[in-house]
Structure 1
Amino acid sequence: MMNTTREPTLEPERVILTGVSKAFGRTQALRDVTLTGRAGSIHAITGENGAGKSTLMKLLAGVHAPDAGELRLDGEHVCFSAPAEAKRAGISTVFQELTVLPNLTVAENLSLGREPARSGCLSRRSMERAAIDVLERTGMTLQPQRLCADLSIAEQQMLEIAKGLMGDARVFIFDEPTAPLNRAEIDKLGAVLAELKRTGKLVFYISHRLEEIFRFCDTVSVLKDGQHVTTQPAAALSEGRLVQLMVGREIAALFPTRGAPADTAPLLDVAALSPRGSRAQVSLSLRQGEIVGLAGLEGHGQREILRAIAGVEPPLKSDMRVADAGRVLRRFDPSLGAEVAVAHGVALMPEDRKSEGLYLDLPVQDNLWLGTMRGAALWHRADRDPSLVRQWAEKLRLRGRPADPVRSLSGGNQQKVMLGRWLLSGVRILLVEQPTRGVDVGAKAEIYKLLQQFVDQGGAVLVVSGDLPELMGLCNRILVVRNGALVADVPAETATEERLLGLALRDPAELGQHELAGGCDETGS
């Protein structure tokens, strides 16, 4: 897909980075990077995890100081020793890590560090007026008095963006801003970006999402292994060419060859499943060797179905069976909790890997070793086999040492650690939420390969993703969810984005039989 965004006219050079290098111990994060960003531009910074994107922007944001090279802002040499200095110079950053303080209100978070005062006293009225103004600019309807502990992850992310708009900055840095956002919220962000561009701001947009890069950005810079590869107008690139620049292979090569499901009894059989908060009853089955996707509009129940099967959000009712080693289907009750599901070989990889999936302060090796403890008694001594960890670190292609805390890894490597733990555990059914959210294209290909290897070796996968091309490339078939019910079962090789969206938007009774044909025999279940 070629970008249709018009190349910007040559506005003034707002930021110039010349010969910038940065090392952390023996790791050379950046090497002699030279890059220019112009006023009135949305400038994408992209590349694989570990390419140096975030490090480069953190130099500009004052988080790190460069070991070599020069930074110029509107022609003046700058060297920031702290983020506060960069902020005062007109650089606003929305980091990937959320910094919202949960014990403060929306207005207090937005005004933090620049609280309005009158006669030496805090002016809450002025604070709330300023909050209302910036929230309107981002299209948010939050109440300024609302406590931030009550906000969803997506609302916190939009609040981070609003914080960036509070100061009248010249340069904005957005680091993976859409990872937790739905389509409507991404549209709101697009409107904010367009306004920043119209008013002459420079926006550096760090992202792995090709669709967003081509939708929002007019200029693209690619980094690889800490070095600058190229800077080109987005209009001169295609998705395939950009992937080649980032990882050295075609976009079609991201997905492994799909295997054929076993022509046997189901590995998992779900009947009359009623997730909490839904009036629909869901029935589906997974066969050995297949990857099945759950697609639909945001908020229509895909996540709830997955979590009900996993026992993380126990269903109101269900009739669920899983095949044992002898392929005999045995009933289990997910309403008894996730421990029961895991004991039966059914495991969830949650979307929020940091709060639900990983122990961030423990090392990689401990997070992996936990997988070997499935089914062990409480008094069982934990087996710690360094050779096993090394073997799996190589298989997962992890970047980082086994003794490193998981917190220090990139998003893609954290995702691979979480997946590796379940692969080590011996479960046969994986339930996966957003398998590659916040993950670069190179790590995506590795995760897809690991999932395909898992099903090739006798497992089955049920996956929820808001990325329809991902579902079409990864899955054998795709179940479409509408208002909590399954309305279609579509073979992936015949699926298109238009068809899947049409099924998700329209009531099955309104669809002609030709639209449901081609394997869609589980409609309305």
Structure 2
Amino acid sequence: MTCLVEMSNISKSFGGSKAVDGVSLKLMPGTVHALMGENGAGKSTLMKILAGVHQPDSGEIFREGRKAGFETPREALEAGISTVFQELSLLANLTIAENMFLGREPVTAFGTVDRARMRRETRKALAALGLELNPDILVSELSIAERQFVEIAHGIKADASVFILDEPTAALNAADVEVMNAQIRRLRDEGKAIVYISHRMDEIFGICDTVTVLKDGKLVATRPLSGMTPDSLIALMVGRELQDLFPARGKASTETVLDLEDFRIDPGSTPLSLHVNKGEIVALAGLEGQGQQQLLRSLAGLYPASTGTASIKGKTLPLPAPKASGIRQLQARKVGFVPEDRKEEGLFLGLSIAHNIAVGLSSVHGELSIAHDYRKAIAETMASMNIKASGPSAPVGTLSGGNQQKVLLGRYLAAGLDLLLIEEPTRGVDIGAKAEIYKLLRSFADEGGAVLVLSRETIELIGLCDRIYVVHGKAIVAELPAETATEHQILNAALSA
């Protein structure tokens, strides 16, 4: 069987730092090849070399046995290598169709842009992914999941033989992931080679055949996944087992921080009650789209809760929370809301780390209070959270996903809050950064804070939390101690409802 792509002894340095050090990789037809490693391991650099974004300092690339080299991404695409990077590259002020054909617009016999053909082919490419979006919609009007699908449709439309998918499902729900996986399997069955970069173990073992692990820019191993387990794969990546990623559980107080009574997410939903105590991390688990996110966001004014009572440390929180000032209302009660989409809703990507953290420090003071010097607090936050950057003035947009997430959490941890409401605490971050975030959240709880968290990764909720509320149909259907809970129990509770 002819190897579609072989990268032989590839090395690449930036300044004095070696990002990729003598790495070799073979991509065979009809396979899905997982590429794994912590942030900074060299995965993205290696793939950007294959995609023509970077040029290697040394080493060779072979395309179906012939030596090749790609000076630009266009050259790589023309050679049949299509890439969907984690950082979405769509232009928000253009339509879906204009993005799909950007730089290669078809023309009519009269020399004008053939917009009818663009719409027709865009609609066909989207339909292959089960999407019925209007090709004339501006990308700025799409959800993050829809944008991700448009990116992938663009790659599939290129009819390449090698596809590089960098965190393709990070923003997708369970149903969308299944649509995505069906497309990946279709490409595999057509004899394509797919490089799949993800931090989600269930996806890696569910869709991939082979795994290559990188660490500190070097090749650790390439192995068939059939002979591996999540524990053995994590051990290859970070040198410790899955259970070692989670810190020991603390001892919760009997003092209630958050209390919801007869709370209805929607007028027709069943009333629910829950509480989160000081020193406790509590999970909202269940199947995708059952009301976990609406429940959390209703406290911040981002979703209009119907009825019920919410109190923070004994003081009633007016409901429904106002959309324009719900976040401020929470901040005044020493509550932080950490959204799932850190780039669109959480961080100011063009501003520095210092500015992003200072936003949280400033929020605990009145609007007319005297300005404070936060340099010491910012430096201490960066050190305690192990934020890897050149300094506090580094733009947040230049950081890795894991470091961006730590900056977002650091904004609230530095502010001395009592309660954190968190969506997807480790979305799109590597195993090593996950372990650091788990430790930070547990330290926050051990110091008297309280956390209410939701996540699509059930194993994360079991390992991190103290108690788990299972949500189904916008109601709580079960409460389980996390220490003895299993994925089967949680799924059974959600389905039985």
TM range (shorter): over 0.9
Task: Report the equivalent of 1:368.
Answer: 357
Quick check: 1:291 aligned with 2:281? yes
Task: Report the equivalent of 1:518.
Answer: none
Rate the CA distance shift 1:357–1:36 in 2: closer, same or farther, 3 A.
Answer: same
More deviation in 149-158 or 20-29? Answer: 20-29
* TM-fit CA distance, 1:316: 4.0
Task: Report the equivalent of 1:418.
Answer: 408
* TM-fit CA distance, 1:506: 3.4
* TM-fit CA distance, 1:379: 4.1
* TM-fit CA distance, 1:17: 1.5
Give the number of aligned pairs: 491
* TM-fit CA distance, 1:104: 3.4
Show CA shifts across 1:349-406 (max 9, x none): 1101111111111221222233322322334444335443333222111111222111
Q: TM-score, normalised by structure 1?
A: 0.89
Contact 2:402 2:433 in 1 (8 A): yes
Provide the C-alpha distance between the structure 2 equivalents of 1:123 and 1:100, rounded to a whole number of angstroms.
20
Q: 3-state DSSP class of the match of 1:13?
A: coil
Provide the C-alpha distance between the structure 2 equivalents of 1:173 and 1:473, rounded to a whole number of angstroms.
31
- Amino acid aligned to 1:21: S
Q: 3-state DSSP class of the match of 1:122?
A: coil
Task: Report the equivalent of 1:156.
Answer: 147
Quick check: 1:322 aligned with 2:312? yes
* TM-fit CA distance, 1:276: 5.9
Contact 2:98 2:118 in 1 (8 A): yes
Quick check: 1:210 aligned with 2:196? no
Provide the C-alpha distance between the structure 2 equivalents of 1:456 and 1:188, rounded to a whole number of angstroms.
41
* TM-fit CA distance, 1:344: 0.5
- The correspondence of residues 138-149 of structure 1 with structure 2, limited to 5 A, is 138-149=129-140
Contact 1:276 1:313 in 2 (8 A): no
- The correspondence of residues 60-139 of structure 1 with structure 2, limited to 5 A, is 60-119=50-109, 120-139=111-130
Q: 3-state DSSP class of the match of 2:483?
A: helix
Task: Report the equivalent of 1:169.
Answer: 160
* TM-fit CA distance, 1:292: 0.7
Q: 3-state DSSP class of the match of 2:5?
A: strand
Task: Report the equivalent of 2:432.
Answer: 442
* TM-fit CA distance, 1:340: 1.2
2:473 corresponds to which of 461, 476, 483: 483
Quick check: 1:498 aligned with 2:488? yes
Provide the C-alpha distance between the structure 1 equivalents of 2:349 and 2:249, rounded to a whole number of angstroms.
33
Contact 2:267 2:307 in 1 (8 A): no
Task: Report the equivalent of 1:225.
Answer: 216
Show CA shifts across 1:245-270 (max 9, x none): 100101110111111211x2311212
Provide the C-alpha distance between the structure 1 equivalents of 2:370 and 2:71, rounded to a whole number of angstroms.
48
Task: Report the equivalent of 2:257.
Answer: 267
Provide the C-alpha distance between the structure 2 equivalents of 1:488 and 1:27, rounded to a whole number of angstroms.
51
Task: Report the equivalent of 1:49.
Answer: 39
Q: 3-state DSSP class of the match of 2:425?
A: coil
Rate the CA distance shift 1:104–1:278 in 2: closer, same or farther, 3 A.
Answer: farther
1:345 corresponds to which of 334, 352, 359: 334
Provide the C-alpha distance between the structure 1 equivalents of 2:364 and 2:378, rounded to a whole number of angstroms.
19
Contact 1:90 1:170 in 2 (8 A): yes
Provide the C-alpha distance between the structure 1 equivalents of 2:442 and 2:7, rounded to a whole number of angstroms.
42
* TM-fit CA distance, 1:103: 3.5
Contact 1:310 1:346 in 2 (8 A): no
Show CA shifts across 1:263-286 (max 9, x none): x23112122334467644332111
Provide the C-alpha distance between the structure 2 equivalents of 1:74 and 1:190, rounded to a whole number of angstroms.
26
Rate the CA distance shift 1:148–1:362 in 2: closer, same or farther, 3 A.
Answer: closer
* TM-fit CA distance, 1:425: 0.4
User: Gaps spanning 5+ residues in structure 2: where?
Assistant: none
Contact 2:214 2:221 in 1 (8 A): yes
Provide the C-alpha distance between the structure 2 equivalents of 1:454 and 1:280, rounded to a whole number of angstroms.
32
Question: Percent same amino acid among aligned pairs?
Answer: 47
Q: 3-state DSSP class of the match of 1:172?
A: strand
* TM-fit CA distance, 1:321: 1.8
Quick check: 1:377 aligned with 2:362? no
* TM-fit CA distance, 1:110: 2.4
More deviation in 125-134 or 165-174? Answer: 125-134
Contact 1:33 1:228 in 2 (8 A): yes
- The correspondence of residues 402-413 of structure 1 with structure 2, limited to 5 A, is 402-413=392-403
Q: 3-state DSSP class of the match of 1:115?
A: coil
Contact 2:39 2:400 in 1 (8 A): yes
Q: 3-state DSSP class of the match of 1:72?
A: strand
Quick check: 1:332 aligned with 2:317? yes
- The correspondence of residues 30-41 of structure 1 with structure 2, limited to 5 A, is 30-41=20-31
* TM-fit CA distance, 1:141: 2.9
User: Gaps spanning 5+ residues in structure 1: where?
Assistant: 1-10, 324-328, 508-525
Provide the C-alpha distance between the structure 1 equivalents of 2:266 and 2:75, rounded to a whole number of angstroms.
49
